Structures are given as C-alpha cells and as structure tokens.
C-alpha cells in the first residue's frame, strides 16, 4: 500500500506557546518581561542568519562554510544545541531545576536534545541548506502566530516531505524550539488512489453488465466466446443494449430525481426524532491555510479524497445529508422496486408466488427498521466515521436500490421471459421465512441494544414506540467494560456472545434473499457476496481502529468476547 508521509509540527496551547517564548528569550540571553510575551515578539525570533548556532572552531573551514551559507556546510549534533549551552554541564537534573522550563506544562518536549537524537546526529552530517530551509519555515510560522494567541490551540504547520531524513531534521529542529512534532502518515484504504479509481469506473460498468444479463439473459452471466469476439461483443451486446434500454431517459430522470427532491422536502419539513450524535472532531482546524474549515482526514490526493469524501456530516439546514441519503433514499426505493415486481406478477398472472412475497417482506423489514430505528443511527459507523464522498453517495443512490433488488427482478424477469415461475417446496419456503424472521430479530435487537446503550451513555437516549419494538432490544442494567478512553464496551445481550452479532444476522438475511431464488443465477447472490466483502473489510478496519483507540482495554474486551461472527467458530 502506498503511504506518503508528511511531517506536522504542532503547537498545542497558549501555555505551551508562552513556554516557547520564554525559552527562546532565555536562549538568546534576553530577559522576558513576565506576562508580556507579545512584546518580546520583535526580539524573540532569532534571525536565521544572525543567530545560527556556531559551527566548528572559530578559524575552521567548517565555520567559514557555515557562516557563508555554503550549500554543503554541515551541522553536527552539538551545533543544534541552544547557544551558550555547554554539554558537560547540562543534564536532566539541571534542566529540571531551571525555573523557565519548570514552568512549562508537563507535556512539552524538553529543549535540550535527548541522548538518542544526539547520538544519531553525531553520526550524521546535515547540510546547512536543509537546516536553514526548515528553520526559516519554523521561524515564519512562529512569527505568524505570535500575534494570534487565541487561535493557538488549533494551529499547526504541515511540512510535507517524502524524505525520511528531512523529516528527521524537522523533528530535531522542532525539539530544539520546544515545538511538538509528529509524522502524519496517510494510510490509504481500498487500494489507494488506483483502487478507488478502479472502483469508481468498475461499479457503474458492473451494474450495466448485470442489468443486461437480467434484462436479456434471465440472469445468466455473458461473455465473448473468443478474443476476436471481444470488440463486436462490447459494441452489440453491451453498448447497443445500454443505448436502447438503459440510457438515462428524461422520464426516468424525472421519476428518480422527483423522488429524491420529494424525500428531501419530507426530511426538511418532517425531520423525525432529533437526537445528539457522537462528538465530532473540531472543525476549527487550520492546516497551513490550505484547507477550509470543514475538511476532515484528507490525504491530499484528489481522486482518493473524492472517493472517500471531505466532510463528515454535511448539512443543508436541519437535514444531515448523509443520514438522509443513507436512510430515506435507498431503502424505500428498494422496497418500491420489490413491491412493483410483485404487482407486475399479479397484474400479469393474477397470482403471486411465495418467493416474490418473501422478497417484499425482506425489503419491508429492512426499510421499516431504518425508519423506526432512525434515532439509533447517529451512533453507527457510517455516521460517525465514514465521510460523505463518492463511495457513500454512489452506494446510497445507485448501489443499494439498484443492485440489492436483483432477487426480486430476477424472479419477475424469469417468469416473464420463460413463462415459468420460480417456486420451491413448502418445507424450503417455510425454512427460509423462519431464517429471515429470526435473523431480522437478531439484526434489529443487536443494533438497538448497542445503539441504545451508547445513547444512554452519552445522554441522548429517547424512548420510541415505532412498530415493532422487539423484546430484548433495550438491555436494562447491562454489563460492560469501562475503558480508559471513557467509552463503555457492551458485553451483555447479543454483544456478550460475539463481537459483531448484527453483521452475522445481516449476512444471514442477505443469503436468504439469494436462496429464495434457487440456484439458476449468480445475480441474486451478488448482494450477499458483496456485503460479505464489505463487512469483512469493515471489521478489520474497525478492529484496528478500536485496538488503537482503547489499547489494553480492547484486548480485555476481546478476551471477554473472543469470537467475531459465530461463537466457537470464528
């Protein structure tokens, strides 16, 4: 995985800043007037040229090169020491006795280079040009923010560099100036820019391909029979069919966009229960003046950021766009599509089959769950973690409604084109209905157990009577693990049995949507396969995130609840 790195220098607080000021004044031999930090501004930043640490002995060539800004002038560990600092007289004890430094808050990095860095620097010849370049950047940054102490809590300077050695120099200089620095490593998911580019092109193409196979081939997957056939196959089988049957017509656009607008107006005027979500990161972040005030976890790569999104919770008025697009758009459309297939069957044959009823029930349960449990959704992963980018928007507006419906469309198209309805024996049908209802029960109560527990914890719990409120959906006096982070991890109910009970239940429902159509086509199983990949990937991302966030508490939780999907199996 490609992981570009950049170095970010942080200044955390006004207190920290004042400490830096005092420190620098002390290093320069200027006595700071207590409480008048701003007044020292002009005197404080040493000009990079005039106050550059002395290098080598006074008559040495090394010193001359350094003083004359020779590009190959080198700097040793001792050169990075504060001026006037004598190595053999300084140790940590002396540092701690120093009143200026003592007055610093605990978290501030000491000014004197630590032994580890000193040892490393001794081995390294650092070019003067490099040091001057980064030192000037730091000086400029310090000067810029001297006048604006109020903003200091959120200010940081980002220095992008893919060179490990350069980053090392920046860290060392930061330490010298009492700034806190750390590497901000961009961790790409989904295969990075190349992976997401492939997905953005591949998903729509795949959907067209599946549409052709459903519309013209009773769900059979089609392919060219020889290499020579590829071009005519693409033109005749794919392109011409899309042009005729799947070109976005004005009527289709009006119907779909009409529904989108209608649904938005409803969300605007009839918002449903209003609950507080989880705290989101501060929006008041300045990043070298480049990013605006709402972007979040940006990689800097346009394609990747376009796919992942930039904002976490964009809104228009009272409508949280992500919630609206995730709940109020795809699931009702999916339900209407299934219902339409059932009505078409009834209109054509005067009767309906059990599999078609099954699909309407399955989609009704899902859409109903999303609406009746709307108040629980702000504490779920997509809302608090995923940003609103191509991935979520495409999947909400196209993927969910127009791929999750393959089972219903397949049942209908198969009957319309062959004249034979897909049916099964009563035992098979009854088993699948039972599996669906049982899985739904675990899915519904699993989600609501965890989300209500979390809502109680953050004080946003509200009781609702929307149908159905299932028994065990709300655990009174639950057991949990209290983490040092402050969050509680539920270990009662389904959550004491495995770590992702709601995923297991959701996947069980997904496979039942395929099984009800028999084994004539892969397409009704596409949702299950796709969803399995999504959830397995999500589990690994989530576990990694939680392990970092909760540390040893997460290990304790994993010991208490060792299985992820199925107890004693996995």
Ligand X SMILES: NC(=O)C1=CN([C@@H]2O[C@H](COP(=O)(O)OP(=O)(O)OC[C@H]3O[C@@H](n4cnc5c(N)ncnc54)[C@H](OP(=O)(O)O)[C@@H]3O)[C@@H](O)[C@H]2O)C=CC1
Ligand Y SMILES: C=C(/C=C/[C@@H](C)[C@H]1CC[C@H]2C3=CC=C4C[C@@H](O)CC[C@]4(C)[C@H]3CC[C@]12C)C(C)C
Q: Is residue 326 a contact point for ligand Y (CB under 6 A)?
A: yes
Maximum CA pair distance of the chain? Answer: 105
Please give the DSSP secondary-structure letter assigned to residue 378: G
Q: Is residue 174 a contact point for ligand X (CB under 6 A)?
A: no
Output the smallest distance, CB 403 to ligand Y, in A. 10
Q: Which is nearer to ligand X, 21 or 380 (CB)?
A: 380
For residues 6 and 183, is the Cβ–Cβ distance under 8 A? yes
In the list ligand X, ligand Y, none, the entry touching 377 (Cβ below 5 to 8 angstroms by class) is ligand Y
Pick from 307, 310, 309, 312: nearest CA to 194: 307
Q: Which is nearer to ligand X, 24 or 502 (CB)?
A: 502
Q: Is residue 443 a contact point for ligand X (CB under 6 A)?
A: yes
Restricting to residues 451-470, name those near ligand X by CB under 6 A: 454
Q: Which two tokens stand for residue 300?
A: 């800097």
Interface pick for ligand X out of 126, 308, 411, 490 (rule CB under 6 A):
490
Interface pick for ligand X out of 380, 415, 445, 512 (rule CB under 6 A):
380
Considering only the stretches 17-25, 40-48, 96-104, 495-503, report the one whose residues sit in contact with ligand X under the rule CB under 6 A. 495-503
Restricting to residues 504-543, name those near ligand X by CB under 6 A: 506, 538, 542
3-state secondary structure 496-507: HCCCCHHHHHHH
Interface pick for ligand Y out of 396, 460, 483, 517 (rule CB under 6 A):
396
In the list ligand Y, ligand X, none, the entry touching 501 (Cβ below 5 to 8 angstroms by class) is none
Output the smallest distance, CB 533 to ligand X, in A. 11
In the list ligand Y, ligand X, none, the entry touching 167 (Cβ below 5 to 8 angstroms by class) is none
Q: Is residue 450 a contact point for ligand X (CB under 6 A)?
A: yes
Binding mask 284-323 for ligand Y (x = CB under 6 A): ----------------------------------------
Angle, in degrees to the nearest 10, between helices 426-457 and 501-515: 150
- Contacts of 66-75 with CB under 8 Å at 24 or more apart are 66/128, 69/128, 69/129, 69/132, 70/128, 71/127, 71/128, 71/129, 72/127, 72/128, 72/129, 73/127, 73/128, 73/129, 74/125, 74/126, 74/127, 74/128, 75/125, 75/126, 75/127, 75/128, 75/131
- Cα–Cα distances in angstroms (integers) from residue 220 to residues 49, 214, 362, in the given order: 74, 7, 24
Q: What is the rounded end-to-end Cα distance, in angstroms, of the chain?
A: 27
Binding mask 398-427 for ligand X (x = CB under 6 A): --x---------------------------
H-state helical runs in 328-484? 330-349, 354-372, 381-384, 390-394, 400-403, 406-418, 426-457
Considering only the stretches 70-78, 211-219, 409-417, 445-453, report the one whose residues sit in contact with ligand Y under the rule CB under 6 A. 445-453
Interface pick for ligand Y out of 400, 439, 475, 511 (rule CB under 6 A):
400
Q: Is residue 189 a contact point for ligand X (CB under 6 A)?
A: no
Q: Is residue 325 a contact point for ligand X (CB under 6 A)?
A: no
Output the smallest distance, CB 481 to ligand X, in A. 8
d(CA 262, CA 20): 57
Pick from 92, 95, 172: nearest CA to 138: 172
Q: Kindly state the helix (H) or strand (E) to which residue 287 belongs, with its residue range.
A: strand 286-287
d(CA 335, CA 332): 5
Interface pick for ligand Y out of 142, 196, 337, 370 (rule CB under 6 A):
370
Output the smallest distance, CB 345 to ligand X, in A. 25
Q: Is residue 376 a contact point for ligand Y (CB under 6 A)?
A: yes
- Contacts of 20-23 with CB under 8 Å at 24 or more apart are 20/142, 20/177, 20/178, 20/179, 22/100, 22/103, 23/100, 23/101, 23/104, 23/111, 23/178
In the list ligand Y, ligand X, none, the entry touching 128 (Cβ below 5 to 8 angstroms by class) is none
d(CA 170, CA 177): 11
Restricting to residues 450-469, name those near ligand Y by CB under 6 A: 451
Interface pick for ligand Y out of 448, 460, 483, 504 (rule CB under 6 A):
448
Number of residues that bind ligand Y (CB under 6 A): 17
Residues in the site for ligand X, rule: CB under 6 A?
A: 380-382, 400, 443, 447, 450, 454, 487, 489-490, 495, 502-503, 506, 538, 542, 546, 549
Residues in the site for ligand Y, rule: CB under 6 A?
A: 326-327, 369-370, 373, 376-377, 380, 382, 392, 395-396, 400, 444, 447-448, 451
């Amino acid at each position: 995985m490609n992981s570009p790195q950049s170095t970010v220098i942080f200044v955390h607080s006004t207190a920290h800043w004042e400490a830096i000021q005092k420190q620098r004044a002390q290093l320069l031999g200027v006595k700071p007037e207590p409480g008048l930090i701003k007044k020292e501004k002009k005197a404080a930043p040493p000009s990079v040229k005039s106050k550059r640490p002395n290098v080598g002995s006074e008559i040495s060539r090394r010193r001359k090169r350094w003083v004359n800004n020779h590009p190959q002038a080198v700097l040793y560990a001792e050169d990075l020491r504060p001026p006037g600092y004598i190595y053999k007289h300084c140790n940590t004890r002396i540092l701690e006795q120093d009143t200026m430094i003592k007055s610093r808050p605990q978290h501030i990095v000491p000014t004197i280079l630590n032994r580890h860095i000193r040892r490393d620097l001794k081995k390294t010849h650092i070019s003067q040009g490099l040091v001057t370049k980064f030192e000037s950047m730091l000086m400029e940054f310090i000067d810029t923010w001297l006048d604006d102490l109020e903003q200091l809590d959120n200010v940081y300077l980002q220095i992008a560099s893919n060179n490990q050695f350069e980053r090392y120099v920046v860290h060392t200089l930061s330490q010298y100036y009492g700034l806190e620095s750390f590497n901000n490593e961009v961790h790409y998911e989904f295969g990075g820019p190349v992976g997401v580019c492939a997905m953005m092109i591949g998903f729509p193409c795949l959907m067209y391909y599946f549409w052709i196979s459903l519309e013209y081939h009773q769900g059979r997957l089609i392919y060219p029979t020889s290499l020579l056939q590829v071009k005519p196959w693409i033109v005749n089988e794919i392109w011409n069919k899309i042009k005729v049957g799947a070109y976005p017509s004005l009527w289709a656009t009006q119907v779909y966009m009409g529904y989108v607008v209608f649904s938005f107006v409803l969300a605007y005027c009839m918002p449903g229960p209003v609950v507080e979500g989880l705290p989101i990161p501060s929006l008041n972040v300045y990043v070298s003046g480049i990013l605006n005030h709402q972007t979040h976890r940006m990689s800097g790569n346009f394609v990747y950021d376009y796919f992942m999104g930039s904002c976490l919770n964009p809104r228009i008025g009272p409508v949280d766009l992500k919630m609206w697009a995730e709940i109020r758009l795809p699931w009702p459309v999916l339900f209407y599509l299934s219902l339409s297939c059932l009505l078409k069957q009834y209109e054509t044959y005067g009767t309906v089959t059990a599999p078609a009823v099954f699909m309407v029930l399955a989609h009704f349960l899902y859409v109903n769950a999303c609406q009746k449990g709307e108040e629980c959704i702000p504490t779920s992963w997509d809302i608090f973690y995923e940003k609103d980018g191509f991935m979520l928007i495409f999947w909400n507006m196209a993927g969910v409604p127009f791929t999750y419906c393959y089972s219903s469309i397949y049942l209908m198209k198969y009957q319309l084109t062959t004249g034979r309805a897909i049916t099964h024996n009563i035992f098979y049908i009854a088993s699948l209905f039972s599996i669906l209802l049982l899985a739904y029960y675990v899915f519904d109560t699993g989600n609501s157990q965890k989300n209500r527990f979390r809502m109680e914890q953050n004080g946003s719990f509200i009781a609702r009577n929307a149908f159905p409120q299932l028994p065990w959906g709300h655990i009174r006096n639950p057991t949990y693990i209290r983490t040092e982070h402050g969050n509680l991890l539920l270990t009662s109910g389904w959550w004491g049995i495995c770590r992702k009970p709601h995923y297991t239940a959701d996947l069980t429902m997904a496979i039942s949507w395929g099984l009800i159509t028999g084994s004539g086509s892969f397409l009704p199983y596409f949702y299950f396969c796709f969803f399995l990949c999504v959830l397995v990937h999500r589990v690994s991302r989530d576990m990694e995130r939680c392990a970092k966030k909760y540390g040893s508490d997460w290990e304790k939780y994993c010991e208490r609840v060792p299985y992820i999907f199925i107890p004693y199996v996995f």
